[in-house]
Every structure is written in structure tokens, then in C-alpha cells.
Amino acid sequence: MINIRLRSRIGTLAVLVVVLGGVPHVAAQGLTGQISGLVVDASQAVLPGAAVVVRNTGTNFIRETVTDADGTYVFPDLLAGTYEVKVSLSGFKTYTEAGIVLGATERVALRRIALAVGQIEETVTVAGESPLVQTQSSARSGLIERQQMEDIARLG
């Protein structure tokens, strides 16, 4: 009899954990919105790999993503507020759009973001050979001059 009661209580507890564990997630889905869009170049060709950053201007909450192969990006589960979207890609000028108002449960699809060609950035790589380091022994050697020896004797 005790074994049956114990199994019943464990079963009831498991059901409660599953049901109550999912409540915050379901509630959060009802309070969040989404911002999405498409990034293209001046010729309207899609730009995969562009870095997209969304910032809630009220809280400074930041999320980052990268455009997919179709040039699209999606920021799901954003809290209601005013947002700023910044898009950047090497070889293009950075684009910023501010004042995007997102309501709870709202899905905002921004207009196409066309990135303009920017300055070509130069990268300088300096390569040199590293000095040889003796790794066979832990002994150190160096030249100590007379003045250094006298300084050690005086200072103790």
C-alpha cells in the first residue's frame, strides 16, 4: 500500500514539474516581439555574413547575429521597447537605424537595408622570425659588468 502511494506521489510530482516548468517559457513568449529584415548591396544582391546588432535604447540590452545565406536576419524573443539596429560588413559602410518601436507580441519586418560600398580597409601583417630560444637546459647566462657587481655589493 505504501509503495502504491509513493509511486502516485512521484508521478504527481513529475507532472507538476513538467507543467510548471513550461509556464515561464509560455508566458515569456506572450510578452516578446521580433525584429527581422534583409540586407542587400547597392545592386540589390543579398549579403550573407553581415553582422547585425540590435540594441534596446532604454536598457542598453544588446543581441548580435549574422545574416544567413539569403541575407536575412531574425531577432526573436525581444522585450517591448525602442530599438536601434546596426549592420556592418567589411568593405561596406555601417548602417544604423534608430527609433524602431517594438510592442509586446509584435513582429517588425524592417525594409531592405542596402549597404553602400565603403572604403577598402588595408591590413598590414608583419612577419618576422622569432629569436632562437635554448630549450635543452634551464641554465641562464649573461654578461655582468663591473659597475653592476659594485652596485650589488654596495646595496647589499
Q: What is the pLDDT of residues 34-60, one digit of tens each?
A: 999 999 999 999 999 999 999 999 999
What's the rounded Cα separation, in Å, for the pair 81 and 132? 58
Task: Report if residue 142 sits inside a domain.
Answer: no
Task: Report if residue 146 sits inside a domain.
Answer: no
Q: What is the pLDDT, as a whole number, of residue 132?
A: 52
Whether 5 and 64 share a structural domain: no
Whether 25 and 46 share a structural domain: no
pLDDT over threshold 90, residue 79? yes
Q: What is the pLDDT, as a whole number, of residue 148?
A: 80
Averaged confidence pLDDT in the chain: 79
Task: Report if residue 17 sits inside a domain.
Answer: yes
Whether 107 and 85 share a structural domain: yes
Q: What is the pLDDT, as a whole number, of residue 106?
A: 92
The domain of 21 spans 1-30
pLDDT over threshold 80, residue 25? no
